[in-house]
Amino acid sequence: MARRDDIPPASDSGARTPGSARPVPPTAKQQAKDLTVKQQREARRAEKVAALKKQQARQKRNRILGISIASLLALGAVVAIISFVIASAKPPIIDPDRDPAAISIEGVEEFTGIAGTHVEPQPVDYEAQYGMTPPAGGEHWSQWLNCGVYEQPVPNENAVHALEHGAVWTTYDPDVVSGDDLEQLRDSLPGTYSVLSPFPGLPAPVVMSGWGVQVQLDGVDDPRISDFLNKYWQSATVPEPGALCTGALDAPGKVS
């Protein structure tokens, strides 16, 4: 009879050998796989979010930088404009701080005792009657000349009526004054109660006339232009101070 310990042990296919790993249930493997995929998806999403935030931050910085540059450029343009205006500004033609009575003008001729009678339609010989070229007062027509700039000679009798209202009549010899000189002369005159017109045969390049006063000038740079305007422009001593210098006659050749 065989001994018990001589009988070989029965085969056990399900028995574990020492040191072997414990089998992982299928559900646990799937869960681990799903967790790995989820983690990868979350990581990719986090990367996209971080990249988006970085892009948004860069765009914000660029916008701020662009706004700052635009603001600086706009400020620079404003400063440049202000600087140009200040640099190109010129003193006023009529200085309200100047006392007309205190202004002395060399060469001014005064005509006294001249009447402002209306004699229309009879023309007036101002040279023969008053010794004036051009006229600086006296008899005239009922319509005054509208103040402004004329490129053609204007009727004397209408221009004298404008003088009666306080205007200053600046005449120039067109054979002597033209181009840039004429533009300079025009810029040196006020925009109202002023008549500028050519007058062929003048005794000087430029002659300025107010009611009863006149001065012959050497040219458009003569400093007496400013003095004459500040003393006689809209003078209170004219026969009709404050009367209109518009609303009557526009002579041919008026440009402004």
What is the predicted pLDDT for the residue at 32? 61
Domain co-membership, 122 together with 189: yes
Q: Do both 119 and 215 map to the same domain?
A: yes
Domain-located, residue 237: no
Q: Residue 193 has what pLDDT? A: 98
- Give the count of domains, the chain: 2
Same domain, yes or no, for 181 and 137?
Answer: yes
pLDDT reported for residue 2: 45
**Domain coverage including residue 133:** 104-232
Same domain, 129 and 214: yes
- The answer to whether the predicted template modeling score (pTM) of the entire model surpasses 0.75 is no
Give the per-residue pLDDT at 13.
47
One digit per residue, pLDDT tens: the chain, 256 residues? 444 455 454 444 444 545 555 655 556 666 666 667 777 777 777 787 777 778 888 888 888 887 878 777 877 777 666 554 444 445 589 999 999 999 999 999 999 999 999 999 999 999 999 999 999 999 999 999 999 999 999 999 999 999 999 999 999 999 999 999 999 999 999 999 999 999 999 999 999 999 999 999 999 999 999 999 999 999 999 999 999 999 999 999 999 9
Residue where a domain terminates, one of 58, 89, 120: 89
Domain assignment present for 223:
yes
Residue 7 belongs to a domain: no
133 and 209: one domain? yes
Asked if residue 8 is part of any domain, the answer here is: no
Please check whether residue 240 lies inside any domain of the structure: no
SS (H, E, C) the chain: CCCHHHCCCCCCCCCCCCCCCCCCCHHHHHHHHHHHHHHHHHHHHHHHHHHHHHHHHHHHHHHHHHHHHHHHHHHHHHHHHHHHHHHHCCCCCCCCCCCHHHCCCCCCEECCCCCCCECCCCCCCHHHHHCCCCCCCCCECCCCECCEEECCCCCHHHHHHHHHCCCEEEEECCCCCCHHHHHHHHHCCCCCCEEEEECCCCCCCEEEEECCEEEEECCCCCCHHHHHHHHHCCCCCCCCCCCCCCCCECCCCECC
- State the pLDDT at residue 195: 98
Residues 85 and 126 in one domain: no
